[in-house]
Amino acid sequence: MAGESPLSAPGPVLLLGAPGAGKGTQAKQLMAAWMIPQISTGDILRGNVARQTQLGMAAKSLMDRGDLVGDDLVNSMVADRLAQADCVRGYILDGYPRTLQQARWLDAHFQNKQAETIPLIAVNIRISYTSLMRRITGRRTCPVCQRIYNVHLQPPVQDGICDVDGATLTQRADDKEEVVAERMKAYDSLTAPVIDHYRAQGRFAEVDGEQPVEKVFADVVTQLRRLRGQAGAGGVR
């Protein structure tokens, strides 16, 4: 329902799901609706690669191959980000944790801060392998406003050009088909167990990611509200 106020304290939110499940798109909508930051470890790493920082240089070849960056590097990057002032009311972690080691690090991080922390809630966006491949290989991003398009599913009005600012859209190097296969292998062996980890902890829900973006968003918000014990607190937002 338009005009409804967002949750007063959304707290920490995890968006889980395979590459291409729509975590980034959903996180951006949630960020706008609830006014909390999206923390995408992939975006932070890509920013470091672009700026050629030490972290970026260590991560680049792994990312280009579709392999995961080391847990310690990513955990300390997340620790720095969570310490920033805009995370006080809550935040959306997108693409993290990606391994059980990262999930355990995050659990410990919360235990250390238990007194002031609202418990973490997690939503997994489920989607079939065929849909993932279509979404990832069709994905294009605007380098200026970061808007995400899909050449098959959500094309821009003019081929290859951002509707918002006219910039030329780009394809992530790791969205090319041969690298996607490696990323999916990493997901199956290392990240899928993270979903079971949070399912076992409770405060966990799943939504069907095959639906239109707006419907997925409505379901994500409904589940997050339910997990925060605020179901029915005024519309989907």
Question: Which residues are part of the catalytic machinery?
Answer: 23, 98, 139, 172, 183
How far apart, in whole angstroms, are the C-alpha atoms of residue 202 and residue 185?
26
Least distance CB 29 / ligand AMP (angstroms) = 17
Residue 174 contacts ligand AMP per CB under 6 A: yes
As given in the structure block, the two tokens for residue 223 are 């589940």
Pick 22 or 237: Cβ nearer ligand AMP:
22
Q: Which residue has the tokens 């990057």?
A: 77
Site string for ligand AMP, 100-129 (x = CB under 6 A): --x---------------------------
Pick 183 or 237: Cβ nearer ligand AMP:
183
| Chosen residue from 21, 49, 68, 224 binding ligand AMP by CB under 6 A | 68
Residue 17 contacts ligand AMP per CB under 6 A: no
Residue pair 164/147 in contact by the 8 Å Cβ criterion: yes
Pick 6 or 172: Cβ nearer ligand AMP:
172
Phi, psi of 131 (to 5 degrees): -65, -40
Provide the binding-site residues for ligand AMP, judged by CB under 6 A: 19, 41-42, 45, 62-63, 66-69, 74, 95-96, 98, 102, 174, 183
